[in-house]
Each structure stands twice: as structure tokens, then as C-alpha cells.
Amino acid sequence: MALLLCTRDARNPFYNEKLDIRIWSLQELCYVIYNHPLLTLHGFVTPELADWLRDELSMGFLAARIRQLMASAPGEGEEDHTDEALTAILRECNYYTQGEIEACRKRLRGYRSCSREDYAQALGTSLFRLRRYHMAYDSFSEAEREVSEKLGKISGREPSAELLKRRADILCDMAAAKIQLLETEEALELLSEAEKAATSQRGVRMRSLLLMEAGREKELPESLTDEEKKRLSEERAEARKRALESPRYREVKDAFLQDPVRRQKTCGELLKKWKKEYRRMS
């Protein structure tokens, strides 16, 4: 239990395209590195970051250390130097404990040594959590390409059930991104493909919910039992109830309870906000 004393904010923020946020303080920078390490592994530790630390946060020593790391082994061992630079930033700010910093370092190492499809899928998941659905879809697509390539290389042998299941899982992730982008038909196609690839409970569930939501119960898989249909209906009802209690729904509802003049203004603001969010997603 403690109160962490903050350093001063920057006058001008640091902007990263992948994250699409402006970072104003050292604490925010540490939060991003710790919670979204995959997004900081490539193209994050740059001369611009070092300059920002020096000019905006008056952290000349840290900036010099980062530049030194970047310059010491160009092209070779770049990953080690990025990891060291990220760890140095975490250490400089008393935002995370030594134990947490060490755990982060191990996570970074882990991501470096994992397979390309694992990396791409994990990156896609990170982007999905940040609501960057289009970028998440691209990352999941890359993962799917890697797995398909591996499946393609297996000739004359029964494809590994694990690989097939893996592909189905990635296809489900791609479908989830498409759903968020409101591209429902593409999502349904991806889920059909996932079902064909492997018996995927997750895929069946997602496709069934989507069809129920679209009022297309006739297209539900025949293998779905009545009990399962009932469970899915209950799940939908529960999700609908949560949606009606959510702040975003209340925001719209409250807007319509206002007098016409204020309602128009509030709705205009909401539309602007949604447009901005949609642009961010795509």
C-alpha cells in the first residue's frame, strides 16, 4: 500500500500508431509497456521515443541509454536491446515493483521465442483488447496463413488434429474481429470454415448465437440439441440484459430523455464519438 509520487506530464505527447493513443507521462508509458508488451516489441523503441523522453520528461540519462542500446548492435540482437530498453524504462519509474518488472522481462523473452503463429495470434488478441479490430483481423489472418502453410507442407500424411483445431480457433478470432466491425456475413463464413476445419465448440457456439441474433434460427446446425438451443437463448437474454444496463446504453437513453434542444446537441456529440471510435477500430 502506498502513494506513488508522479513525475510531471509532458507538454507534447508521444504518439504510437499501433496503440493509437497519445502518451503524456512516464506512468502511462510504463502501463503500455507492461500491459501491451506485444505492441512494444517492434517499432516502439525508436529515436523519437528517446527524444521525447529527453525533451518532454527531462530524462536525459534514460534517453541516452536507449540511444546507446539502439546503436550498439544494429540488425543483430535487436530484440535483446529492445527488451533491455523497455525494462530500463520500467525501472526508471516506480510504477511497477521489481517482481513485476522481472515478470514482464520474462514475458518479453517468451514472446520472442514463441512460434510465428503464436506471436501473431497473441498480437491480434492484444489489438482486439484495444478495440483495434481491423489491425487485430490482419494479425489473426497472418497467424492463419502460418498455420495453413504448416498444414500445406504435410503431404501424404493425416493433418495433425492439433493444427486443425488451432486453425479453427484462429478463424474464430478472425470472425470475432469481423463481428466487431459489423461485417456479419464475413464472420458467418469464417465460422463455417472453422466448423469444417475441426469440430470447434467455440465456433459452433459463436455461429449459433450470431444466427439467432439475426433471426435465422432455421440455419442453425442440426447437431444442436434443444437443450443447447435453450442454453444459448438464455445466454443471449443475459447478454441483452447486461447491454441494457451498460453505461453506453444509458448514455443514449439519457440523451433521449432530454429536451429537444439538448437532445440534439447530445446526440450530435455521441455521433461524433462513435465515428471517431469506428475510425479507430478500422
Partner 1 sequence: MMKAAIGIDLCSDYTAIHIHGNEEAVVIPTVICRDRDTEHFFIGGEAYRKTLKGEGILVDKLLRLAARKGTATIGGTCYEGRDLLAIFLKKAVKSALRQQISGEEKEEPEIAELCLAVSGTLEDEDGAVLYAAEALGVPREHFRIIRHTEAMMYYVLSGEKDLYNNDVALFDLSEEKLFYYEMRVVRGMQRASVVGEGEPMDESFNIDILKNEAGRKLGDSILLGCAERLMAKGNYSAVFLTGKGFEEIDYFPQFKEYICRRRRVLAEKGLFAIGASAAAYDRTCPETAFPYVFICESRLRCDISMNVVTRNREERLILAAAGDPWAETRSRIELIPYQQNYIDLDIMPADRLRKPKTVRIPLTGFPERPDRCTRLLVELSFPSADKLRVGIRDKGLGEIFPKTDASIYEEIDI
What's the Cα-to-Cα distance from 239 to each of 175, 213, 233, 236, 245, rounded to whole Å? 19, 11, 10, 5, 10
* Pattern 70-109, partner 1, x by CB under 8 A: ------------------------xx--x-----------
Q: How far is CA 273 from CA 87, 105, 154, 195, 241, in A?
A: 35, 36, 49, 37, 24
Helix (H, G, I), strand (E, B) or coil at 59: coil
- Please give the Cα distance from 121 to 139 (Å, whole number): 6
CA–CA gap between residue 100 and residue 34 (Å, rounded): 9
Which of 87/141 has CB closer to partner 1? 87
Contact in structure between 32 and 39 (CB atoms under 8 Å): yes
State in angstroms the smallest separation of the CB of 97 from partner 1: 8
- Residue 116 beta carbon to partner 1: minimum distance, rounded to whole angstroms: 29
Q: Which is nearer to partner 1, 13 or 159 (CB)?
A: 13
CB-wise, 25 or 208, nearer to partner 1?
25
- Please give the helix or strand (H or E) that residue 23 lies within, else none: strand 21-23
Least Cβ distance, residue 114 to partner 1 (angstroms): 26
CB of 6 to partner 1, least distance (A): 4
Closest CA to 146 of 117, 169, 186: 117
Which region among 4-12, 139-147, 169-177, 216-224 touches partner 1 (by CB under 8 A)? 4-12
Nearer to partner 1 (CB atom), residue 10 or residue 70 = 10
Smaller CB separation from partner 1, 36 or 81: 36
Q: How far is the CB of 11 from partner 1 (least distance, A)?
A: 14
d(CA 150, CA 171): 15
d(CA 49, CA 7): 17
Of 102 and 213, the one with the shorter C-beta distance to partner 1 is 102
Per the DSSP assignment, residues forming a β-bridge with 23 are 14
Least gap, CB of 130 to partner 1 (angstroms): 10
Asked if 121 and 139 touch (Cβ cutoff 8 Å), the reply is yes
Report residue 130 CA to chain centroid gap: 5
Residue 36: count of CB within 10 angstroms of its CB: 20
How many chain residues touch partner 1 (CB under 8 A)?
19
CB of 94 to partner 1, least distance (A): 5
**Interacting stretch for partner 1, rule CB under 8 A, among 5-13, 74-82, 145-153, 166-174?**
5-13
Nearer to partner 1, 27 or 184 (CB): 27
Residue 266 CB, shortest distance to partner 1, in Å, is: 16
Contact 123, 41 (CB under 8 A): no
Question: Considering the rule CB under 8 A, would residue 2 count as an interface residue with partner 1?
Answer: yes
Nearer to partner 1 (CB atom), residue 5 or residue 261 = 5
The answer to whether 118 and 144 are in contact (CB under 8 A) is no
Backbone angles phi, psi at 23, to 5 degrees: -105, 125
Site for partner 1 in 10-39 (CB under 8 A): 13, 21-25, 27-28, 31-32
Residues forming contacts to partner 1 in the complex (CB under 8 A) are 1-6, 13, 21-25, 27-28, 31-32, 94-95, 98
